[in-house]
Amino acid sequence: MNAMRALFRFVLPVSAVLLGACASPPPPPPHPVADDARWLTYAGGSGPGAGKHIVLVAAEQEYRAEQSMPMLARVLSTHHGFHCTVLFVQHNGLVDPTQKTRQEDRTIVHDIPGLEHLAKADLLILFTRFMTLAPTQLAHILEYLDSGKPIFALRTANHGFLGEFPYQVNGKRVRFGEDVLGGTFLGHHGNWHADSTRGILVPEQLGHPILRGVTDVWGPSDVYRTFKEGSSLPAGCTALVLGQPLLGRKHGDAPNTAKEPLPVAWTKTWTGNKGIPARVFHCTMGSGADFESEGVRRLAVNAAYWCMGIEDRITADRSVACVGPYVPLDTGFNHAELGVVPKPVAAYR
């Protein structure tokens, strides 16, 4: 009998260990945003991003963010486990990249339903251009800027809001592009709609986690100038990728040696009214066609990890493949010619 008891004392702990080893990991928390016809939600899985929530905002008129942001959300949720929510600028209940800005129509007030979900976000990926929002919607952006949570801005986001940005820190007016992101659009350093950009990884930053596995950064958008000639990125910005203008819009075109490479991707920090430093990544590439490049997609995915402080989970072999077809329409404002028309949110799923 004593021998039997000893056997049970040995077998039961070993069985418990074996059962624990075989048990499935707990499921990730559910998506924090309820399904709604006004936005898109993509549930993450058990990848490195399990339980984290990214809100992506597509609100511009030129670079087909309404196509690229759902594509990026599918990549981040399917391959990396992040919960994603995509918000769009809308008019009459439809996603409408053809809507004018206040430069063209002084009566315009844009509508981005769902900005209240920023309160549940671990990261904001922002792709806006000359938005004029109602104070109730803009308040959600300002609250996020004070939260200490990270900001990932693409291309036109550095001139993403039109007019004086109604935001102050310690009584001083804040410029969204220059102060929060580290630079605003001062002009096309490349030739607008006539050349393309080859990304050059900054040699001193090759060990940066955002550049892990990144190769062949190229896209048919041109290089922006974000600081005055003879100057440089502001103090506190770390350039990761320089953009060399090319003599055409094909991948193999020669560099335009008359134009120096300028930064197209950098990091910095931003500190709002709560005094909590937030990580910031800004990339002035990011047109719909730019995201056809695996190098641009990997740069973006790695940046999302870095922004949320999980850069130790970045590996060079994690998939950044598009999930389903991705055929972005061409860049431009000639919407009718390009086939850009108002559509329901569901059309972009």
Q: Which of 333, 348, 343, 340 is nearest to 72 (CA)?
A: 348
End-to-end CA distance of the chain: 66
Please write the tens of the pLDDT for every residue from 281-314. 999 999 999 999 999 999 999 999 999 999 999 9
pLDDT at 247: 97
Task: Calculate the average pLDDT of the chain.
Answer: 93
> Does residue 21 lie within any of the structural domains?
no
Percentage above 90 pLDDT, the chain: 90
pLDDT at 71: 98
Q: How many CB atoms lie within 10 A of CB 337?
A: 9
- Does pLDDT of 19 surpass 50? no
- Does pLDDT of 277 surpass 60? yes
pLDDT at 28: 75
pLDDT at 24: 66
Exposure string over 252-275, b if 16+ CB within 10 A, otherwise e = eeeebeebebbbbbbbbebebeee
> Does residue 132 lie within any of the structural domains?
yes
- Does pLDDT of 14 surpass 60? no
> Does residue 172 lie within any of the structural domains?
yes
- Does pLDDT of 122 surpass 70? yes
Please write the tens of the pLDDT for every residue from 311-342. 999 999 999 999 999 999 999 999 999 999 99
Q: Which of 58, 56, 54 is nearest to 44 (CA)?
A: 54
Q: Taking residues 12-30, what's their average pLDDT?
A: 58
pLDDT at 12: 41
- Position 178, amino acid: E
pLDDT at 22: 55
Task: Find out whether 151 and 278 touch, Cβ atoms under 8 Å.
Answer: yes
Q: Taking residues 208-218, what's their average pLDDT?
A: 98
> Does residue 260 lie within any of the structural domains?
no
Please write the tens of the pLDDT for every residue from 141-195. 999 999 999 999 999 999 999 988 999 999 999 999 999 999 999 999 999 999 9
pLDDT at 27: 76
Torsions phi, psi for 336 (to 5 deg): -60, -45
> Does residue 182 lie within any of the structural domains?
yes
> Does residue 9 lie within any of the structural domains?
no
For residue 170, give the CATH number of its domain: 3.40.50
The total number of structural domains in the chain stands at: 1
pLDDT at 7: 40
Task: Find out whether 289 and 221 touch, Cβ atoms under 8 Å.
Answer: yes
Positive or negative: CA dihedral 70, 73, 78, 83: negative
Percentage above 70 pLDDT, the chain: 93
pLDDT at 6: 45
- Does pLDDT of 200 surpass 70? yes
Q: pTM for the complete prediction? A: 0.92
- Does pLDDT of 1 surpass 70? no
> Does residue 12 lie within any of the structural domains?
no
Task: Find out whether 295 and 215 touch, Cβ atoms under 8 Å.
Answer: yes
Three-state SS string across the chain, please?
A: CHHHHHHHHHHHHHHHHHHHHHCCCCCCCCCCCCCCCCCEEECCCCCCCCCCEEEEEEECCCCCHHHHHHHHHHHHHHHHCCEEEEEECEECCEECCCCCCCCCCCCCCEECCCHHHHHHCCEEEEEECCECECHHHHHHHHHHHHHCCCEEEEHHHHHCECCCCCCEECCEECCHHHHHHCCCCCEECCCCCCCCEEEEECHHHCCCHHHCCCCCCEECCCCEECCCCCCCCCCCCEEEEEEEEECCCCCCCCECCCCCCEEEEEEEEEECCCCCEEEEEEECCCCCCHHHCHHHHHHHHHHHHHHCCCHHHCCCCCCCCCCCCCCCCCCCCCHHHHCCCCECHHHHC
Q: What is the distance between the alpha carbons of residues 204 and 207, in angstroms, rounded to a whole number?
A: 8
Sorting pLDDT into bands at 50, 70 and 90, what band is 23? low
> Does residue 2 lie within any of the structural domains?
no
- Does pLDDT of 69 surpass 60? yes
179: burial class by Cβ within 10 Å (0-12, 13-18, 19+)? middle
pLDDT at 163: 80
Domain assignment of residue 341, given as a range: 28-187+265-348
pLDDT at 25: 65
Which residues 6+ apart lie within 8 Å of 348 measured at CB? 40, 66, 67, 70, 86, 88, 95
Quick one: tokens of 272? 């709002």
